[in-house]
Amino acid sequence: NKESSSSRGALIVLEGLDRCGKTSQSGRLYKYLDDQGHSVESWRFPDRNTGVGQMISSYLANKSQLDDHAIHLLFSANRWEKRSLMEEKLKSGTTLIVDRYSYSGVAFSSAKGLDIEWCKAPEIGLLAPDLVVYLDISPEKAAERGGYGDERYEQLEFQKKVAGSYLSLRDSSWKVIDATLSIEDVEKKLREVVLDCMMTCHKGKPMSQLWP
């Protein structure tokens, strides 16, 4: 049928500690792909524009308190409320560059001490990324970059725990890029893995769901 014969977009996820350069790299990647004429959008989680996103935003700004399990489920709900749109975009051929996804959800909540399997459960059935890129930087180096804001989680001790959680989530399919390289070198490596992934999706790699 028409849907399976036309090519789909790729779901590309960028993960990493705060200050690893994720947000600037996703912006640069977006611009590059867009300039090349690809159909591409730049997304991020949490998406603070939805009702759930506003609750998350207020929690992160320390303007509200929530039980660790409750906020975990809100982060997950925030992805669920975008799931159908995400699927629609991918099927219609748009590549999505997503700044944080379920891995942030699991890494940050399990860093607080929540059980990792419990953390993964609400993510089951969300779309699985075609590519996860981890921008690798030590918590100490990230902290040296400065610019931690006043949001919850933006502290060295906590980031160390998050780094540990990411390490246990990582699998061999992740592309790990040294985030301490120059902006241009990181960008170059990122483009390579992303273009390669877009090609496999274009050639008909099926979409799948978490957790594969």
CB of 212 to ligand 2DT, least distance (A): 18
Which residues are CB-contacts of 201 (< 8 A; sequence separation ≥ 6)?
7, 8, 9, 10, 95, 130
Which residues are CB-contacts of 72 (< 8 A; sequence separation ≥ 6)?
105, 109, 114, 119, 122
CB of 195 to ligand 2DT, least distance (A): 24
Question: CA separation (Å) from 7 to 4, 68, 107, 131, 160?
Answer: 7, 40, 32, 17, 40
- Binding piece for ligand 2DT, criterion CB under 6 A, among 98-106, 124-132, 178-186, 200-208: 98-106
Buried-state track 46-58, b at ≥16 Cβ within 10 A, e below 16:
bbeeeebbebbbe
Write the interaction track for ligand 2DT spanning residues 49-88; mark x where CB under 6 A is met and - where it is not.
Answer: -----------x--------------x-------------
Q: Which residues pair with 131 in a beta bridge?
A: 12
- SS3 track for 107-168: HHHHHCCCCHHHHHHHHCCCECCCEEEEEECCHHHHHHCCCCCCCCCCCHHHHHHHHHHHHH
The residue from 43, 45, 134, 166 that contacts ligand 2DT (CB under 6 A) is: 45
Rule CB under 6 A: is residue 19 a binding residue for ligand 2DT? no
Rule CB under 6 A: is residue 129 a binding residue for ligand 2DT? no
- Identify the DSSP state of 209: B
32 vs 153, beta carbon nearer ligand 2DT: 153
The residue from 100, 142, 165, 186 that contacts ligand 2DT (CB under 6 A) is: 100
- Binding piece for ligand 2DT, criterion CB under 6 A, among 8-16, 104-112, 164-172, 179-187: 104-112
Interface with ligand 2DT: number of residues (CB under 6 A): 9
8 vs 100, beta carbon nearer ligand 2DT: 100
CB of 206 to ligand 2DT, least distance (A): 25
Q: Which of residues 148-187 bind ligand 2DT (CB under 6 A)?
A: 153
CA angle, corner 165, sides to 23 and 99, nearest 5? 20
Rule CB under 6 A: is residue 108 a binding residue for ligand 2DT? yes
For ligand 2DT, the binding residues (CB under 6 A) are 45-46, 60, 75, 100, 104-105, 108, 153
